[in-house]
Structure 1
Amino acid sequence: MEGLQRRPAAAAANARGDGAQQPQRVIHCDVEPAPRAWPGMQMLAVAAILVLGGLQFLPATHFRLHQDRGRNWIPIDPSLHAADHQVVGVHIISWISCLDLRTLAALTNSTLSSSSDPHDVSFTFLTPEGGNEQLHFYKIKSVLPDSNITVTSQKKTKEKLNVATPAGNFLWSFRSELSPIIIATQFSRKRHVYISPDSIVKGKVEDLAPIDLGSYAISAAEDCSKRLGDYISMDVLSAVQRTAPKGLVYTEPFDKDTCLLDFDVLIVEPRNLKRNLVDSIAFWAKAVNLACHRDSIRLAITLAFYNDYLKLPTNWKRANDNTDILYNDGPKNVCSEDGRQHEGKGSGEVWQQYLSQKSNAMLST
């Protein structure tokens, strides 16, 4: 006896009297082969992948500004120099040796208040090692929420500096005076503006961005309150020049009326720094050892950069109320040589324009 079998769908339909209807063909996927691709389709797909990959190597024709919320594409003019294609922005770096968040906030707010495009200005503050940079960041952001700031510890810079080496030990020994050089050689390798932390900025920092340094590493203002000849004899300088290692010092005669460099505001292009710059500063610091520690370093810096810098406009020299940068005349922390802090009283009123009493109280705790 044969087992029961399921009748095909067509046979069941005929049994119901639908003999005129033709049975439908059933495709069995596990038995019949897959449909064949069009001839040459695989080659076409490979060619498309190669073409799209090759497009990635073509030069850019458009760019977008990260500040543009509309994300509009801007065509690149090939007739311009490559440096002109870069997004113009101002990156300000400051090194504070005696931590006071009030001075950093006043510097930030005065700079942004004077800028025509504050969203294009960013700040990096290097604070003394041992502090909580994350806490410092949030405190400044709490009073200036729209500021673009970064707070980092000087400890990281010290580790990169390698104070075990003669050059590293020299730089760290005079870190307050040589902080712009430390930043340029160890921390930031991109063009930036260094501003002394105890400053109030009244000018537009974006005016500094388009200044062309050419082959120079820095652009600095000059302090002509005293001249080179007021610190050292030209005969002594000539004698030092004759005995100095080759290539380490300026070889032409020095001018006794040369002004000293002012390091309160600097435009820095680290890529143009000479490899022997630190050695040159260290050499001059030992050769012109003056009674005043700070004067020795300032003089050494001036001699190391002699005739090798671009002069910054005089309005960026802290001198009087008519310049683009002023001294912070508010209260601030002052550190003694043993590292202890005490409050320095500020008698001015300019700082109050950029730091409210409430913010001052928040940042002073």
Structure 2
Amino acid sequence: MSSSYMSWRSSASNRRPTQPTNTSKNRGTIYPDLNQDPTPKPVIHFLAFALIVFLGLLQFLPASHFRHPSDPHRKWVPFNSHSSPSPTVKLTVDEDDGLIHIVSWMQCLDLKVLAVLANSTLSSSRYPDMLHFHFFTPQGDKDKVSFYKLKVLFPHSNLELHGQEKVKEIIKRASSEAEYDSLNLEEIAPFIIPSVHQSLTKFIYVSPNLILMGRIEELTGIDLSAHAAAAAEDCSNRLNSYVSSDVLDAIQRSASKPWISVTPYVKDACMPDLSLLLINGKKLEEFLEAVLWWSKVLNWSDRFLVFSLPP
């Protein structure tokens, strides 16, 4: 036992204490608050300021493309701002105030659609300061918030919001309740507006969903002569697809109204495009009566044809 004890003491006595290594010498010495951040060069400041000024100036350039809110694909459409007007087209404006009046009727207010309509019209026009917009909305001039939003987008434009109540009242008085419910007010309202707003003697009606790519002032040079309105032809829709030729022949033989043509109707004639109209308000006295008469006669004719069909 003593031998084992001596061997343990000898091994223990032969151990040498290890000196701790100084690892601080391997690290870099830290001197706080002596190493400052690098100062950027003045050239970088100048370039950054020039970039900000350049981006700000880009906001004053006219719009070259737009996206229609009704387009599900949200494609960018370029404005046709480089087309030159026809030399044979003359510019005619309202004789009273020297403005080109543009009217649009919207059953449910959508500011995005109106903004696109106004922007496309102003951007493609050579005389944007001569355009005066009249937007007929459900609330009209009572909707101050919508008006100021449009003025923020188009601060230098002439635009007004009008109500629809008076126009609807005239149509209701001239028709029955069933006829009124079946009428498309967006197609009839443009012809009733001059009787409510007598200052609008001649104007251009534009559907709110329409995007104008050409110069709208060129339409004012069209000579209406004795006609109350002018519309473009839509040959994708034909007359015989809406009304039977037998019905038209029967109406011409039996009815005598000033709005019925004396000559036979062309059965495959192109239908008018009612989304863009040039209207002379001084010659619209009998229009509402004619529209309601045709609507009533055609509805009766459709019922008669259905009832006369063999079982």
Same fold (TM over 0.5): yes
Provide, for residues 77-122 of structure 1, a one-character-per-residue CA deviation record: whole Å limited to 9, x for no partner.
xxxxx99977753110100112101111111111111111111111
Q: Secondary structure at the residue paired with 2:173?
A: coil
Provide, for residues 164-208 of structure 1, a one-character-per-residue CA deviation record: whole Å limited to 9, x for no partner.
343899568431331222223433441000000112222111111
Aligned to 1:92: 102
Q: CA RMSD in A?
A: 3.1
Is the 8 Å Cα contact of residues 141 and 147 (structure 2) preserved in structure 1? no
Distance change in 2, residues 1:248/1:264 (3 Å): closer
Provide, for residues 240-267 of structure 1, a one-character-per-residue CA deviation record: whole Å limited to 9, x for no partner.
2222244342222111121111111111
Aligned to 1:123: 133
Provide, for residues 132-154 of structure 1, a one-character-per-residue CA deviation record: whole Å limited to 9, x for no partner.
43222111101211111001111
1:134 to 2:144 alignment: yes
Aligned to 2:262: 251
Aligned to 1:49: none
Percent identity between the two aligned chains: 38
For structure 1, which runs of at least 5 residues remain unmatched after alignment?
1-81, 293-365
Mapping for residues 47-126 of structure 1, pairs under 5 Å: 88-126=98-136
Aligned to 1:212: 223
> Structure 1 counterpart of 2:222, which letter?
I
Is the 8 Å Cα contact of residues 107 and 138 (structure 2) preserved in structure 1? yes
- The structural deviation recorded for 1:157 is 3.1
Aligned to 2:173: 164
1:184 to 2:197 alignment: no
| Whole-angstrom distance in 2 between the partners of 1:162 and 1:283 | 13
Q: Structure 1 residue aligned with 2:289, among 262, 279, 284?
A: 279
Aligned to 2:22: none
Is the 8 Å Cα contact of residues 157 and 187 (structure 1) preserved in structure 2? no
- The structural deviation recorded for 1:282 is 1.4
1:198 to 2:198 alignment: no
Is the 8 Å Cα contact of residues 248 and 279 (structure 1) preserved in structure 2? no
Is the 8 Å Cα contact of residues 88 and 209 (structure 1) preserved in structure 2? no
> Structure 1 counterpart of 2:213, which letter?
K
Provide, for residues 19-57 of structure 1, a one-character-per-residue CA deviation record: whole Å limited to 9, x for no partner.
xxxxxxxxxxxxxxxxxxxxxxxxxxxxxxxxxxxxxxx
Is the 8 Å Cα contact of residues 249 and 280 (structure 1) preserved in structure 2? no
Distance change in 2, residues 1:183/1:163 (3 Å): same
- The structural deviation recorded for 1:291 is 12
| Whole-angstrom distance in 2 between the partners of 1:200 and 1:253 | 35
Is the 8 Å Cα contact of residues 223 and 261 (structure 1) preserved in structure 2? yes
> Structure 2 counterpart of 1:115, which letter?
S
Aligned to 1:270: 281
| Whole-angstrom distance in 2 between the partners of 1:230 and 1:204 | 32
> Structure 2 counterpart of 1:148, which letter?
N
Mapping for residues 287-302 of structure 1, pairs under 5 Å: 287-289=297-299
Distance change in 2, residues 1:212/1:87 (3 Å): farther
For structure 2, which runs of at least 5 residues remain unmatched after alignment?
1-91, 303-311
Distance change in 2, residues 1:84/1:142 (3 Å): closer
Aligned to 1:226: 237
Distance change in 2, residues 1:253/1:165 (3 Å): closer
> Structure 2 counterpart of 1:91, which letter?
H
> Structure 2 counterpart of 1:251, which letter?
V
Q: Secondary structure at the residue paired with 1:128?
A: coil
Matched residues, number: 209
Q: Secondary structure at the residue paired with 1:201?
A: coil
| Whole-angstrom distance in 2 between the partners of 1:111 and 1:130 | 21
Is the 8 Å Cα contact of residues 108 and 147 (structure 1) preserved in structure 2? no
Looking at CA atoms only, which structure, 1 or 2, has the larger radius of gyration? 2
- The structural deviation recorded for 1:280 is 1.8
Give the structure-1-normalised TM-score: 0.51
Aligned to 1:150: 160
